[in-house]
Amino acid sequence: MAARRALALALLLIVSGGCSLAGRTFGAYVDDTLVKVAVKRRLAGEGVSRRAGVNVDTFGGTVYLTGIVETGQQKSDAEIAAWQVEGVEQVVNDLVVRGEGDAPSALPAPVVQHPMRERLPGVARVTPGRPGGPDLAHDAHGRVVATVYTLSSRDLVNRGTETLRAEGRRIDHVEIFPLLGQPERPGPYYAVVLWHVSEPEAAALR
């Protein structure tokens, strides 16, 4: 890494004289430049390149993704690829999926069903919690059978499941379900289900 940094410094001194450091030290500028190059290389390797409309900028270890992509999957793939690069401390995904900004339809908006209703058809309803808080899953008798957290992959890694609370309810066991392809939550998200019923009772809700 030291040799790579020294080579980068030498090259930048030769070819980038007079460039703006935008408030950064020269060392920080070099680090950001190396991260930017690595992110672009990773995007190209994953099939998400500038041709797909993805632009990359870095500042202080934060990667900024901008531009227009064709699908939500491309937006998600770009963010995942950026996180896989060493030195990335944060990813700001401002990519826009083509068509998302179109004029709204005159038809009534469809009812958005909680994704866990599809995974657990035995769950009769899911009550949204307070902003940033968990949702509550109820069975057909109105009993709260689970507390559900929706977390990004980053939050799940940082927080784990041990820090999640169920507002005094007993936690019998925990399950994690991937939630992909959600337009309102681009990127990889997971439902962490804190079950308040036994495993056989939870299995019956599937």
Looking at residue 71, what DSSP letter applies?
Answer: S
User: Could you say which architecture CATH assigns to the domain 20-97?
Assistant: 2-Layer Sandwich (3.30)
Cα separation values, 159 from 25, 77, 141, Å: 33, 22, 32
What pLDDT, on a 0 to 100 scale, did the predictor assign at position 186? 56
Per-residue model confidence (pLDDT) at position 170: 92
Please enumerate in sequence order all residues whose Cβ is within 8 A of that of 8, keeping only pairs 6 or more positions apart, or say none: 30, 33, 34
> How many of the other CB atoms lie within 10 Å of CB of 157?
10
Cα 151 from Cα 168, distance rounded (Å): 21
Distance between CA atoms of residues 193 and 171, nearest Å: 10
The pTM of the full predicted model, rounded to 2 decimals, is 0.46
Q: What are phi and psi of 44, to 5 degrees?
A: -65, -40
Task: Give 42-57 pLDDT, tens digit per residue.
Answer: 888 877 765 556 888 8
Q: Which residues contact 71 (CB under 8 A, 6 or more apart)?
A: 97
**pLDDT tens sequence across 22-34:** 455 777 778 888 9
Residues of the chain with pLDDT under 50: 3, 7-20, 22, 102-111
Q: Which sequence spans correspond to the domains of the chain? A: 20-97, 115-204
CATH match for 115-204 among 3.40.190.10, 3.60.21.10, 3.30.200.270, 3.50.50.60: 3.30.200.270
For residues 190 and 170, give the distance between their C-alpha atoms in angstroms, rounded to a whole number: 21
What is d(CA 204, CA 206) in angstroms, rounded to the nearest whole number? 5
- 165: CB partners within 8 A, 6+ apart: 134
